[in-house]
């Protein structure tokens, strides 16, 4: 059975497992006070060329999002997000559970439009009744977005400038950041991300780790980060589990290499699908591909291929999502293209 | 350097690592929908002889505590706990962050007294102004407690009966449950725990797992558990990480065997310390030992032995905690006794 | 200076003040345990012909909304509202501050469409990923809406039926309920409101009271209402202040008489404006009228008439809101029509 | 029937009612933008000699406490309070509902001990594990306390200094502040309160107002106070109701005159009770008196005197609370002393 359901169908990249095995019986301090966590932090700071950044490691995207947003907002502030943003749709109300509103903007293939953001903010402050409304306190974007698209450097810069003008931090959800950075058609580097956002995270779970996200505060800090993480149930006694993984991911370029592989597989897949006459629902330059497929064919495909139902397209067709990852093999792509 | 700081200084028990390696490239569904998670659930239900129990796997103790307590309480209710209870002291206000008060009772070596619990509840309802106070909505106990002590079966039964009379669920924090069940001096079995409590968790992180706690609802259920876990940031994309570990821990009695080993090591340690004339601060029957030691000697010991400072005893002495685990070796105990 | 800014520009209806004066030195129990509060409760139950309803008195609309919604939702549920709904726009995030998401539907002149509600709910449960989303746990409607419009009896019934099918309570915000019930063009009675909703409130602040809203649970109850109100800071030591006012408002039909007067004034105003060639932005059958006016004329009018800026209409015109109330005098309408 | 149950058994002081009547038909802006609210603010700033103070008016003590504490604390901070403090006992968990722990200190007749506060804070920061605990973020005291006692100026100054050393604001709950300031045995003035605390409130509800508390930020400010109040449901459409009352209370010294009267009545009561051989449970210098009375006598008294049961004293006696207010008459005291 082929499985293109997601980029988290396997365990960890073998190099990560190796490192976990090798270090397993070392006696290390808990709660992130171990040497591997420290190494991982140093490697990340070096990569983003920001020695004063603050880095913490967390277990998953929703946890990271809620910890960041809860802790950067004042009680009367909310977070701006594309209406399709993960925090607004698929996190079970995690942000609101911390007491804050998600203020949604129209999404354009998953992205917010820099001009619409600017308008939202200027309209807010021009509204004579805005003291009865939720103040915009931070902006959330995902990159790649939930539908695989990417911001251009110019878009990022414009959003950054608007945020700066309004003095609100920009937070970037990088659950699949590696796949974004290694896309053929991006002009955005990791350094750009670190420069144009105030807080962001580098996703591990979907890019080769067993579990883990690296949260980075560059231009905006919060004090007592450990306590804030502890309060939300995100502090691991065996912090090594996260430290060792990110130390490995950022050794010898592993994170970028495996992301690149996934992109190459996605490109093969896309090319093959187009050649077979399929139409894409969204033109995604990353590892998630969205294909329009007739309902019949989709139903039949289910016995050979695991994919992810995305939405209805029209009366006869649906959209499915096919995802590649560090673990995808070229022969699986070939077989998929044969089978579908 | 000897290290008796905690029971989470190593990675995972080798059998767990083996299983993670063997299953690593299997393509599995996410979010706990994999076969290993299902197996682990079945094994736990069998062990506690409760086929209708509901089981979920989480990452850590604080996360588990906050998810349980948030979801069993009504908005105007609080949780009763010993004042030394972990939720009242070392979880950075995680319970209050979900909107609920911790109602503290005096702790007696970490335990609440069943009679004092009964009095608290009866006084509450007899107070003519209780509608202006926080209603007791659940009772939290830890077993072993934060200072290594254990409830007797009679105590558990009495607390259970009181909770039943007042129709409030009893929740047991079993972060170190294995070490409690394997203690030489306990009359409490896992079945007793499942019978006398309404909700409890079996700790993995401190008993051989890399990460993970098994949360079990026996006599009290909550609907939509997955969504509730998701909302608090506790749902792992790679749920297999938890499922595989608990599947392994509950295969061939591993969980109990390794807990027993830790108890044997703790007994050796205790005997050795007493023979050397040390006094114990608390007479703990589990894997945490609390030793009174002169300040000078403690300072000197630091270059050879990592231990955990607990509290001041008097002007000349402090209390330190020494902890054994599944990974403790007999020769380490011998060396510790020689060195100290 | 004419003032048509709102329906809360004066103090209280004189009969209410009279009653406050007459009862002022009576020594009464606090927290709503006084005879006037009891009388008011009985009168309301009689009016809605529901002897088992539960009634509480609160200080304002936002307070009432947050107390209801917080207390009827489970932690993983949200409240459905028109996107223009007061809770979604002008309550400073009060609902989210209690931990719950507002799930917005398109608004049609302030109203939700029964069919769109039905679709939303059926789509939600048909979405295979809905366990990662916020469950709809209650529906919020306002009547009259924020722009003065009213649901028809058929619409209310349809919304009621949908809610019943999905087993979620319907909550109606009646901040201006009197003005809705006395509108010339409504077929909805107070008994209908009580029958088709599960919880609603009868607004006092905007209908003649100094302060106060009467919250009524008909088909859905919550236990320990006093404690829940206390927790949110809504319980008055001098509960008499609310009880006396509602006792007066529901004596000799006062609430309905003064609402009727406001409607008559609004009708005069509307007729006059149309005769003068003004266009209405929304055709409101209640005490709020929305008039399109050229910017120049609006600016000039400001020295004679206080009104409420609503929104821009086009480059040359804006929409202003003119509001009548129990206190509006016929000569003020005449003067307004002359002046504008 | 005599009634000494509380200081909120009557409506408002007649001068307040008069002012409400006189201003009733004035058309005023809502939400505290009226002239009376502005006057009241100016009068308070003058009284405390702090022209840059920020003042807001709220409906009740619990509401005020929760708005202050929620808005001055960071997410990982809690509020220190005497264990008998109102926020820790009789506010139904209002503080925890905003996400924050109440950190309790022993109370000494309702007061915290400045030295114990200092110790608590220094122990907290000396604890090597304090990053897993709730940080103390503000100190709450009540003056008079819940049992009628008062801080001395030296005590206030010491608490102030400790707070300053640890850079945490001091908040004073003045629900009965007038009775404290007019006590015969206090050396604390209103100016002292404003100087030694960072935030405090002057209670109206229990000192002659129908409803209302004046919240004052002196040395600590929060931005966007109106929005914060709105979010918690504390913003009144008819803000005039609060403004007019405080404008009246601070005209011609009314607030202090009526407080003084209550103290004189309390002194008469106390003297009379002592002469009759009663013993006092607490030696209260304010308007709440706590009397030890045999159970039999107490039961009999109930048909003539309404009082407030406080607690059991011993097997034969209970403690009752008798309260005087601005409305207490000398003949009522005489009759009480005759009857009891």
Query: Cβ–Cβ of A240/B11 closer than 8 Å?
Result: yes
Rounded Cα distance, A68 and A52, in Å = 18
Residue D1 has what pLDDT? 86
B144, B109 Cβ separation under 8 angstroms: no
Query: Cβ–Cβ of B76/C135 closer than 8 Å?
Result: no
C227 touches chain B (CB under 8 A): yes
- Using alpha carbons, list the distances in angstroms from residue D280 to D93, D145, D277, D314: 31, 16, 10, 14
Out of D92, D102, D134, closest to residue B92 by CB = D134
Chain D residues closer than 8 Å to C20 by CB: 11, 17, 20, 210
Residue A224 per-residue DSSP state: -
Query: What value does the mean pLDDT of chain B take?
Result: 97
Query: Cβ–Cβ of A226/D131 closer than 8 Å?
Result: yes
> Rounded to 5 degrees, what are φ and ψ at D193?
-55, -45
Supply angle C-alpha A325, A328, A330, rounded to 5.
135
Best to test chain A binding among D131, D230, D231, D232 (most A CBs inside 10 Å): D131
**Would you place residue C59 in the very low, low, confident or very high pLDDT band (cuts 50, 70, 90)?**
very high
A290, A323 Cβ separation under 8 angstroms: no
Element at A274 (helix H, strand E): helix A254-275
Sequence-distant (≥ 6) Cβ neighbours of residue A284 within 8 angstroms: A144, A147, A148, A149, A266, A290
> Rounded to 5 degrees, what are φ and ψ at D142?
-115, 145
Out of D78, D92, D309, closest to residue B93 by CB = D78
Rounded Cα distance, B310 and C16, in Å = 65
pLDDT digits (tens, 9 = 90+) for C81-92: 999 999 999 999
Task: Say whether D101 sits in a helix, a strand or coil.
Answer: coil
Best to test chain A binding among D73, D227, D232, D233 (most A CBs inside 10 Å): D227
Nearest-CA distance D102 → chain B (Å): 8
Q: Is the pLDDT of residue C340 over 90?
A: no
Beta bridge partners of C317: C294
Per-residue b or e along C312-333, where b marks 16 or more CB atoms closer than 10 Å to that residue's CB: ebeeebbbbbbbbbbbbeeebb
Q: What is the DSSP string of A44-55?
A: HHHHTT-TT-EE
Residue A287 per-residue DSSP state: S
B304 touches chain C (CB under 8 A): no
Residue D46 has what pLDDT? 97
Residue B288, classified by CB atoms within 10 Å of its CB into exposed (0-12), middle (13-18) or buried (19+), is buried
B21 touches chain A (CB under 8 A): yes
pLDDT digits (tens, 9 = 90+) for A190-248: 999 999 999 999 999 999 999 999 999 999 889 999 999 999 999 999 999 999 999 99
pLDDT digits (tens, 9 = 90+) for B140-186: 999 999 999 999 999 999 999 999 999 999 999 999 999 999 999 99
**Residue A75: closest CA among chain C residues belongs to which residue?**
C97
B55, B202 Cβ separation under 8 angstroms: no
A233 touches chain B (CB under 8 A): yes
What is A2-7+255-339's CATH number, 3.75.10.10, 3.40.462.40, 3.90.1150.10, 3.40.50.720?
Answer: 3.90.1150.10
B161 touches chain D (CB under 8 A): no
Task: Say whether C304 sits in a helix, a strand or coil.
Answer: coil
Best to test chain D binding among A124, A131, A134 (most D CBs inside 10 Å): A131
Task: Say whether B160 sits in a helix, a strand or coil.
Answer: helix
D99 touches chain C (CB under 8 A): no
Q: Which of C182, C217, C188 is nearest to C201 (CA)?
A: C217
**Residue C225: closest CA among chain D residues belongs to which residue?**
D92
> Rounded to 5 degrees, what are φ and ψ at C39?
-60, -45
H helix intervals, A51-93: 61-72, 86-89
pLDDT digits (tens, 9 = 90+) for A124-181: 999 999 999 999 999 999 999 999 999 999 999 999 999 999 999 999 999 999 999 9
Q: Residue C121 has which token pair?
A: 């709910």
Supply angle C-alpha B179, A58, A40, rounded to 5.
100
Out of B70, B75, B223, closest to residue C231 by CB = B75
Query: What value does the mean pLDDT of chain C take?
Result: 97
Query: Cβ–Cβ of B101/D99 closer than 8 Å?
Result: no
D197, D164 Cβ separation under 8 angstroms: no
Q: Residue A103 has which token pair?
A: 């203020």
Q: Which chains touch B (3 or more CB pairs under 8 A)?
A: A, C, D
Query: What value does the mean pLDDT of chain A take?
Result: 97
pLDDT digits (tens, 9 = 90+) for D196-226: 999 999 999 999 999 999 999 999 889 999 9
Residue percentage of chain B with pLDDT more than 90: 98
Chain C residues closer than 8 Å to B224 by CB: 76, 131, 135
Arithmetic mean of pLDDT, C259-270: 98
Supply angle C-alpha C281, C286, C292, rounded to 5.
20
Out of A10, A59, A241, closest to residue B236 by CB = A59
Chain C residues closer than 8 Å to A93 by CB: 76, 78, 99-101, 134
Query: Cβ–Cβ of A99/C99 closer than 8 Å?
Result: yes
**Would you place residue D327 in the very low, low, confident or very high pLDDT band (cuts 50, 70, 90)?**
very high
- Using alpha carbons, list the distances in angstroms from residue B58 to A29, B216, B234: 22, 11, 6
Chain A residues closer than 8 Å to D76 by CB: 224, 227-228, 231
Chain A residues closer than 8 Å to C92 by CB: 76, 131-134
Supply angle C-alpha A32, A142, A132, rounded to 5.
100
Arithmetic mean of pLDDT, D240-245: 98
Query: Cβ–Cβ of B93/D134 closer than 8 Å?
Result: yes
- The tally of CA atoms less than 13 A away on the side-chain side of residue A13 is 29
Rounded Cα distance, C72 and C62, in Å = 16
Residue B339 has what pLDDT? 87
Arithmetic mean of pLDDT, C145-163: 98
Residue C339 has what pLDDT? 87
pLDDT digits (tens, 9 = 90+) for B269-316: 999 999 999 999 999 999 999 999 999 999 999 999 999 999 999 999
Task: Say whether C55 sits in a helix, a strand or coil.
Answer: strand
Best to test chain D binding among B66, B96, B146 (most D CBs inside 10 Å): B96
Rounded Cα distance, B196 and B185, in Å = 19
- Please state which CATH number belongs to domain C2-7+259-339: 3.90.1150.10
How many beta carbons lie within 10 A of that of residue D333, not counting itself?
Answer: 24
Across the A:C interface, residue pairs with CB atoms under 8 Å apart total 56
Chain A residues closer than 8 Å to C93 by CB: 76, 78, 99-101, 134
H helix intervals, B58-134: 61-72, 86-89, 94-97, 114-126
- What is the CATH T-level fold of the domain D14-254, as seen in this structure? 3.40.640
Chain B residues closer than 8 Å to C228 by CB: 75-76
Residue A43 per-residue DSSP state: H
How many beta carbons lie within 10 A of that of residue B47, not counting itself?
Answer: 18
Query: Cβ–Cβ of D75/A228 closer than 8 Å?
Result: yes
Arithmetic mean of pLDDT, D296-311: 93
Rounded Cα distance, A225 and D75, in Å = 11
Chain D residues closer than 8 Å to C10 by CB: 24-28
Domain range list for chain D: 2-7+256-339, 14-254
Beta bridge partners of B67: none
**Residue A97: closest CA among chain C residues belongs to which residue?**
C99
Q: Which of B96, B157, B168, B83 is nearest to B125 (CA)?
A: B168
Q: What is the DSSP string of C199-219?
A: EEEEE-TTTT-SS-EEEEESS
Q: Which chains touch D (3 or more CB pairs under 8 A)?
A: A, B, C
Q: What is the DSSP string of C148-208?
A: S----HHHHHHHHHHHHHTT--EEEEETTHHHHHT-TT----HHHHHHH-SEEEEE-TTTT
Q: Residue B174 has which token pair?
A: 């079993």
Residue A340 has what pLDDT? 81
Task: Say whether B251 sits in a helix, a strand or coil.
Answer: coil
Q: What is the CA radius of gyration of chain D?
A: 20
Residue D84 per-residue DSSP state: T
Query: Cβ–Cβ of C129/A78 closer than 8 Å?
Result: no
Query: Cβ–Cβ of B71/C71 closer than 8 Å?
Result: no
Chain B residues closer than 8 Å to D92 by CB: 76, 131-134
Rounded Cα distance, C219 and D33, in Å = 39
A213-217 and A199-203: which strand pairing?
antiparallel
Q: Which of C257, C270, C264, C258 is nearest to C322 (CA)?
A: C270
Nearest-CA distance A241 → chain D (Å): 20
**Residue C238: closest CA among chain D residues belongs to which residue?**
D8
Query: Cβ–Cβ of B90/D309 closer than 8 Å?
Result: no
Sign of the C-alpha dihedral computed for residues A190, A192, A194 and A197 taken in this order: negative
Arithmetic mean of pLDDT, A252-277: 97
**Would you place residue C1 in the very low, low, confident or very high pLDDT band (cuts 50, 70, 90)?**
confident
ipTM of the complex: 0.97
**Would you place residue A1 in the very low, low, confident or very high pLDDT band (cuts 50, 70, 90)?**
confident
Nearest-CA distance A35 → chain D (Å): 20
**Residue B65: closest CA among chain A residues belongs to which residue?**
A233
A116, A104 Cβ separation under 8 angstroms: no
How many beta carbons lie within 10 A of that of residue C12, not counting itself?
Answer: 27
How many beta carbons lie within 10 A of that of residue B49, not counting itself?
Answer: 11
**Would you place residue C292 in the very low, low, confident or very high pLDDT band (cuts 50, 70, 90)?**
very high
What is B2-7+258-339's CATH number, 1.10.510.10, 3.40.640.10, 3.90.1150.10, 1.20.120.430?
Answer: 3.90.1150.10
Nearest-CA distance D169 → chain C (Å): 22
In CATH, the architecture of D2-7+256-339 is: Alpha-Beta Complex (3.90)
Query: Cβ–Cβ of D240/C11 closer than 8 Å?
Result: yes
pLDDT digits (tens, 9 = 90+) for A295-330: 999 999 999 999 999 999 999 999 999 999 999 999
Rounded Cα distance, B293 and B279, in Å = 8
Chain A residues closer than 8 Å to B9 by CB: 27-30
Supply angle C-alpha B164, B165, B166, rounded to 5.
90
Rounded Cα distance, B150 and B181, in Å = 9
Evaluate whether the domain defined by A14-253 bears CATH number 1.20.1250.20.
no
D156, D188 Cβ separation under 8 angstroms: yes
**Would you place residue D339 in the very low, low, confident or very high pLDDT band (cuts 50, 70, 90)?**
confident
Out of C74, C75, C230, closest to residue B132 by CB = C230
Task: Say whether C259 sits in a helix, a strand or coil.
Answer: helix
Out of C65, C205, C230, closest to residue D238 by CB = C205
pLDDT digits (tens, 9 = 90+) for D19-66: 999 999 999 999 999 999 999 999 999 999 999 999 999 999 999 999
Rounded Cα distance, C76 and A193, in Å = 33
Query: Cβ–Cβ of D11/C237 closer than 8 Å?
Result: no
Query: Cβ–Cβ of C224/B71 closer than 8 Å?
Result: no
Sequence-distant (≥ 6) Cβ neighbours of residue B32 within 8 angstroms: B56, B57, B226, B235, B236, B239, B242, B243
């Amino acid at each position: 059975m082929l499985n293109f359901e997601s980029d988290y169908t396997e365990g960890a990249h073998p190099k990560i497992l190796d490192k976990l095995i090798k270090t397993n019986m070392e006696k290390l301090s808990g709660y992130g006070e171990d040497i591997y966590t420290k190494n991982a932090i140093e490697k990340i700071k070096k990569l983003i060329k920001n020695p004063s950044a603050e880095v913490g490691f967390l277990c998953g995207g929703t946890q990271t999002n809620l910890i960041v947003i809860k802790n950067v907002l004042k009680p009367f502030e909310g977070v701006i997000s594309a209406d399709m943003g993960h925090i607004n749709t698929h996190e079970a109300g995690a942000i609101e559970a911390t007491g804050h509103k998600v203020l949604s903007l129209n999404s354009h293939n998953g992205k917010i439009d820099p001009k619409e953001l600017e308008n939202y903010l200027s309209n807010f402050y021009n509204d004579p009744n805005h003291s009865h409304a939720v103040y915009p306190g931070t902006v959330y974007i995902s990159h790649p977005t939930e539908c695989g698209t990417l911001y251009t450097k110019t878009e990022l810069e414009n959003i950054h400038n608007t945020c700066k003008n309004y003095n609100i931090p920009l937070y970037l959800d990088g659950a699949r950041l590696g796949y974004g950075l290694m896309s053929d058609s991006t002009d955005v580097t990791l350094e750009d991300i670190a420069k144009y956002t105030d807080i962001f995270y580098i996703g591990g779970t979907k890019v080769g780790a067993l579990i883990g996200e690296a949260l980075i505060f560059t231009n905006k800090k919060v004090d007592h980060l450990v306590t804030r993480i502890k309060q939300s149930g995100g502090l691991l006694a065996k912090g090594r589990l996260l430290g060792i993984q990110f130390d490995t991911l950022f050794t010898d370029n592993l994170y970028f290499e495996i992301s690149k592989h996934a992109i190459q597989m996605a490109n093969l897949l896309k090319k093959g699908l187009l050649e077979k006459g399929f139409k894409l629902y969204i033109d995604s330059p990353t590892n998630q591909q969205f294909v329009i497929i007739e309902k019949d064919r989709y139903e039949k495909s289910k016995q050979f291929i695991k994919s992810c139902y995305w939405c209805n397209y029209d009366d006869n067709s649906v959209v499915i999502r096919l995802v590649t990852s560090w673990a995808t093999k070229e022969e699986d792509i070939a077989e998929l293209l044969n089978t579908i």
